C-alpha cells in the first residue's frame, strides 16, 4: 500500500513563502533600477524580512540576480526548444533556440550582462550559480540535438559545436561594444558566426 504524501510542514511553508517574497522583491527592484543600483537592504525591506534572513537564502546580490534570472532563462529555453522542433534547417533551428535566450538577456541589459558575469566568475558552490550553469549545459544540449539531425555530425562533434555556439552567444550578449544593439542585431551577429561554423 502506497503512503499518502506528507503535508508540507509549517516551517517549510514559511521558508518557501520567504523565498517567493525575496524572489519577487529582487525581481521587481532589479527590473526597475538595475542590479547595480539596488541594495540588499532594499530587497530585504520590500520582502519584509531582515537582511540576516535574506543572506540565509542568497549570500550575495549576484546570487539574488541568479535566483531571479534563472527561472526566466529556463522558460526561454523551453520556448526555444519548442520553436526549433518544427524547423528542418539547422541554422534556423539553432537561431530559434537562441532567440528567446537573447530576448531574456536583453530585457534589462545591465542585469543580463551581470548575470553572464556571475555565471563565469561566481561561486560554483552556491546553489543558484549551479542552477545557472545547469541551464547553460541544457542550452548546449538542445543545440547539439539540433546539430545531430545531420547524420554526418557525430555526437562528440555536435557537443563541441554547441559549446562553441554557447561561447559565441555569451560574447555577443556580454560585449560592451554590443550594449546599444537590439535583440535582432545581436541575433544576426550570432547567426552569422554560427553560419560560418556550420559550413566548415
- DSSP structure string for 145-175: HHHTTSTTS-HHHHHHHHHHHHHHHHHHHH-
- DSSP structure string for 29-51: HHHHH-GGG--HHHHHHHHTS-H
Residue by residue, pLDDT tens for the chain (200 residues) are 555 555 668 888 888 899 999 999 999 999 999 999 999 999 999 999 998 999 999 888 999 999 999 989 999 999 999 999 999 999 999 999 999 999 999 999 999 999 999 999 988 889 999 999 999 999 999 999 999 998 889 999 999 999 999 999 999 999 999 999 999 999 999 999 999 998 86
- Provide the pLDDT for residue 8: 65
What is the SS3 assignment for 104?
A: helix
Buried b (16+ CB within 10 A) or exposed e, 105-138: bbebeebbbbbbebbeebeeebebbebbeebbee
pTM for this model (two decimals): 0.85
Amino acid at each position: 500500500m502506497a503512503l499518502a504524501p506528507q503535508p508540507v510542514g509549517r516551517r517549510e511553508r514559511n521558508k518557501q513563502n520567504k523565498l517567493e517574497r525575496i524572489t519577487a522583491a529582487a525581481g521587481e527592484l532589479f527590473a526597475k533600477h538595475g542590479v547595480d543600483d539596488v541594495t540588499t537592504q532594499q530587497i530585504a525591506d520590500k520582502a519584509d524580512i531582515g537582511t540576516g534572513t535574506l543572506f540565509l537564502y542568497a549570500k550575495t546580490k549576484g546570487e539574488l540576480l541568479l535566483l531571479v534570472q534563472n527561472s526566466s532563462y529556463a522558460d526561454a529555453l523551453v520556448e526555444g526548444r519548442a520553436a526549433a522542433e518544427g524547423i528542418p534547417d539547422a541554422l534556423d533551428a539553432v537561431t530559434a533556440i537562441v532567440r528567446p535566450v537573447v530576448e531574456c538577456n536583453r530585457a534589462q541589459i545591465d542585469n543580463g550582462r551581470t548575470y553572464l558575469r556571475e555565471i563565469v566568475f561566481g561561486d560554483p558552490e552556491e546553489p543558484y550559480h549551479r542552477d545557472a550553469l545547469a541551464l547553460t549545459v541544457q542550452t548546449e544540449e538542445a543545440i547539439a540535438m539540433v546539430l545531430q539531425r545531420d547524420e554526418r555530425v557525430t555526437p562528440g562533434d555536435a557537443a563541441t559545436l554547441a559549446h562553441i555556439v554557447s561561447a559565441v552567444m555569451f560574447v555577443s550578449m556580454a560585449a560592451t561594444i554590443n550594449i546599444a544593439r537590439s535583440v535582432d542585431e545581436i541575433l544576426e551577429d550570432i547567426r552569422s558566426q554560427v553560419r560560418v561554423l556550420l559550413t566548415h
